[in-house]
Amino acid sequence: MPFLFKKSMEVHEPKPGWRGHFAWAPSMSFVQYEIAEGATLHEHHHENEEVWIVLDGDLEMTLDGETKVAQAGDMVVVPRNAHHSARALTAVRAIVVDQPARLEIPGRAGH
């Protein structure tokens, strides 16, 4: 599975305004998001370490109570069990990588 082509990835909108192309490797999961301006992601936490890579736009991220705006080229590393939330201040394109793989992501068999 060395090549994950976007055209073969599962497409889902797990929350309004969060359209993503999803893919999985044995120990990691990936999503390429197109996030609508104003779309939010509620505060939550999980066992997985997570990295957000902002490709375009302004994404407000709150991580354990600290809020900052990530822009194109910025990355946000979310440690395991850290409380975090997000809000698209503009239209945003971002890649999110989880390790170990987040099996509960929409589209994964059995979820």
Instruction: Express each pLDDT in 52-89 by its tens digit.
Output: 999 999 999 999 999 999 999 999 999 999 999 999 99
Asked if 35 and 92 touch (Cβ cutoff 8 Å), the reply is: yes
Q: Could you give the CA distance from residue 91 to residue 47 in angstroms, rounded to a whole number?
A: 28
Q: Which domain holds residue 73?
A: 9-99
Domain count along the chain: 1
In a domain, residue 40? The reply is yes
Say if residue 106's pLDDT is above 70.
no
In a domain, residue 24? The reply is yes
CATH label of the domain that carries residue 91: 2.60.120.10
Asked if 17 and 59 touch (Cβ cutoff 8 Å), the reply is: no
Output phi, psi for 65, to 5 deg: 90, -10
Instruction: Express each pLDDT in 4-43 by its tens digit.
Output: 899 988 899 989 999 999 998 999 999 999 999 999 999 9
Q: Could you give the CA distance from residue 67 to residue 51 in angstroms, rounded to a whole number?
A: 16
Query: What pLDDT shows up at residue 91?
Result: 98
Its pTM stands at 0.90
